[in-house]
A = this chain, B = another copy of it.
């Protein structure tokens, strides 16, 4: 290690999305075994167990990307990263907390360009950080499709 500070910041950047994941999980728990099961869904919908694993990986990648940009000296793009993270968290509370798929869809349609813009801005600071956000962008697009089918089918 050049110094301990990067290591400390790595924990901060990895920890923030994972805490968001835990908070989102709390909003999800009460609905996922009841209300969510009653919804008509796309045939492409993965089993519920897939989501916590997928999101844990995506949150790790997201945190690592932010840390790389931070380490490369990027500061302003991290504000956008924080914003997209807040919007990401809001989805769980809109879709599962309020049980409102339409608000959830509106939220994802806001999230998608925010994630894309974050990835593009990150690329100026760290090409790897850009690539680390692409699975997240792809999964968010997939989530938008799943959410849309729920709006249309119910």
Chain A residues packing against B (C-beta within 8 Å): 1, 4, 7, 10-11, 14-15, 18-19, 22, 25-26, 29, 49, 52-53, 56-57, 60-61, 64, 68, 128
Contacts and interface: CB of A to CB of B under 8 A. Distances in A.
Given A25-B52, A49-B26, A60 B128 contact: no
A22 B53 CA distance: 7
A136 to B, nearest CB: 13
Contacts of A68: 1, 7
A1 to B, nearest CB: 7
B128 A14 contact: no
A49 B19 CA distance: 12
Contacts of A29: 29
Given A1-B128, A18-B18, A128-B4, A11 B52 contact: no
A18, A26, A61, A64: residue with the most chain B Cβ atoms closer than 10 Å: A18
Nearest to A21: B56
